[in-house]
Each structure stands twice: as structure tokens, then as C-alpha cells.
């Protein structure tokens, strides 16, 4: 067992039983399952700043008034994070509806400013969260423009497509209302949702406060949580301009995937821009 992990366990009073076992899905960090005398835990090894941001987000989600299950942070020490292990099960219409109800309750936690008290990361990408009072300004200045510029600098976006993204970012005040800032998971793709025997759980957050549709758009990016989820989430209050908002809020994670995984995501970025342009031009 690695020295850093041994020290973490000793300091937190956890007694290992056996060696850690690598878990699948650790694309951005090394993730292990470890049995201890106190119960099973999950341990993650990554950049200390990213882990500190994740631990902060997990604590914030656990403190929110939502029935969604969030693993407890057990210990954090440098490049190691230990947290409660969750048992996963199969997805059902009932679990999808519970996810919708739980996410709606999470989003009902609102504040005046968009952002977070600290920066964190979405995957390996630094995520700036310096708060802004105006929601449109936050989306433009903290999300779309920084990533578009970085992708352009690395040769992943040509000047023309970057210009179209800039035009989208500058047009937000023309159609997107300013709203209170909801508490978000921030990286809510399907792989960060677990179905446990006790109900749906969410893991690996990149927490901040912003439009609630950010989490919905991410859930739809690589699949769909299903009709039962949306019926429970909207609860009769669906948005008429949801398709436009969905495309807008998928643009940031698509730019992030372009940055992390390369040019195969350029077409998806452009398709999202086309959808938004259909509404705003």
C-alpha cells in the first residue's frame, strides 16, 4: 500500500483489510475500492487542489436540503481523498423520478451571486468560479469565453468558430433572463449518477451556483435520464425555451471535452452553436 494512503488511513482512524482495488471509470484520477474494519471506502489519488475542490463540493451537496445521496468525505490529505463507498444497483423509472425530485430540491437552494467561494475543476480543466451578480455575465466571462479562447490557442477551434461562440456569449442579455443562482452538481453526466438501494446518489461534483438547467443539459449530453426524470423535475413548470437553453448549457461541457479529448468534439461544438444561432439571429 502506498505511503501517502497509509498515512491518510492512520490519521483518520481507518484500519485497512486487504489491498486497494482499482475501480473502473477513473479517467481523470486513480480511484480505488478499499475494505476497512469500519466499512468499505473509496479512495482517490489526484492533484491536491482538484481533490480539495471535490471534497468541498461533496460537503456542500450533503448539506443541501435534498434527498439525493452524496458520499461522506472521510479524510483529505494532499493527493489522497477518502470517502464513503456506495453500493450501486439498477436504474428504474422509480429511481429516475427520485433523481428528478432530488435534483429539483437541490436546485431550490439559491443565492444572489453566480459562482462559488473557490475555484475547482471540471475533469482536469480548471474551473473559475469568482462570483458575479449577473447570470449572463457569469456564463460569458467564467464559462464560454475562457474555454473558447483556450481551445483556439491550442489549435482546436478556428477563428471563425471562436467568433461565433463569442457572438453567442455577447447575445445572452438579449434572450436569457437573469435569475437567482441555484446550487449545482456542476458535472452531472450519467456516469456521476449512481442508483443505490437507498435511492439515487451523485458523485464527483464540480460545484458552483448558476442556472439549474446546467445540470439538466449535462444529463442529456451523453444520453437521457428519461421521461420519468423530466416529469418529476419539471413538475408542470417546464420551460418553453428549453431546447435553446439545453444547447447553450451543453456548449461549455462540449468545449471542455474538445480541450480534454481533442478534435473529435469540434463537430458537436459547432452543432450546439448552430442550434443557438437559430434562435438568436
Query: Which residues have a catalytic role annotated?
Result: 187
Contacts of 165 (CB under 8 A, 6+ apart): 144, 145, 148, 157, 251, 255, 269, 273
Q: Please report, for residues 120, 194, 241, the alpha-carbon distance to residue 27 in angstroms, rounded to integers and kept in the order given.
A: 17, 17, 34
For residue 136, what is its C-alpha cell?
Answer: 449572463
**How many CA atoms lie less than 13 Å away from 268 in the CB half-sphere?**
18
Q: Which grid cell is 91?
A: 436504474
Quick one: three-class SS letters along 187-245? CCCHHHEEEECCEEEECCCCCEEECCHHHHHHHHHCCCCCHHHHHHHHCCCCCCCHHHH
Please enumerate in sequence order all residues whose Cβ is within 8 A of that of 22, keeping only pairs 6 or more positions apart, or say none.
30, 31, 32
Amino acid at each position: 500500500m502506498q505511503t501517502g494512503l497509509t498515512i491518510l488511513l492512520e490519521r483518520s482512524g481507518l484500519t485497512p483489510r486487504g489491498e486497494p482495488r482499482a475501480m473502473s471509470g477513473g479517467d481523470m484520477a486513480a480511484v480505488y475500492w478499499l475494505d476497512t474494519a469500519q466499512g468499505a471506502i473509496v479512495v482517490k489519488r489526484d492533484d491536491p487542489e482538484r481533490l480539495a475542490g471535490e471534497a468541498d463540493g461533496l460537503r456542500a451537496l450533503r448539506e443541501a436540503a435534498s434527498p439525493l445521496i452524496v458520499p461522506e468525505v472521510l479524510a483529505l490529505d494532499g493527493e489522497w481523498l477518502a470517502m464513503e463507498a456506495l453500493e450501486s444497483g439498477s436504474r428504474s423509472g422509480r429511481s429516475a423520478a427520485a433523481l428528478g425530485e432530488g435534483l429539483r430540491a437541490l436546485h431550490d437552494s439559491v443565492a444572489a451571486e453566480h459562482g462559488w467561494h473557490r475555484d475547482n475543476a471540471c475533469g482536469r480543466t480548471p474551473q473559475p468560479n469568482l462570483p458575479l451578480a449577473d447570470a449572463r455575465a457569469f456564463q460569458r466571462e467564467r464559462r464560454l469565453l475562457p474555454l473558447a479562447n483556450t481551445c483556439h490557442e491550442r489549435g482546436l477551434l478556428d477563428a471563425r468558430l471562436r467568433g461565433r461562440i463569442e457572438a453567442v456569449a455577447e447575445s445572452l442579455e438579449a434572450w436569457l433572463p437573469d435569475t437567482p443562482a441555484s446550487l449545482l452538481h456542476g458535472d452531472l453526466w450519467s456516469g456521476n449518477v449512481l442508483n443505490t438501494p437507498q435511492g439515487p446518489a451523485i458523485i464527483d461534483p464540480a460545484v458552483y451556483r448558476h442556472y439549474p438547467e446546467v445540470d439538466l443539459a449535462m444529463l442529456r449530453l451523453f444520453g437521457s435520464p428519461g421521461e420519468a426524470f423530466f416529469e418529476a423535475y419539471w413538475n408542470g413548470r417546464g420551460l418553453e425555451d428549453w431546447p435553446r437553453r439545453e444547447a447553450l448549457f451543453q456548449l461549455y461541457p462540449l468545449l471542455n471535452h474538445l480541450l480534454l479529448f481533442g478534435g473529435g468534439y469540434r463537430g458537436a461544438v459547432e452543432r450546439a452553436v448552430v442550434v443557438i444561432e437559430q434562435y438568436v439571429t
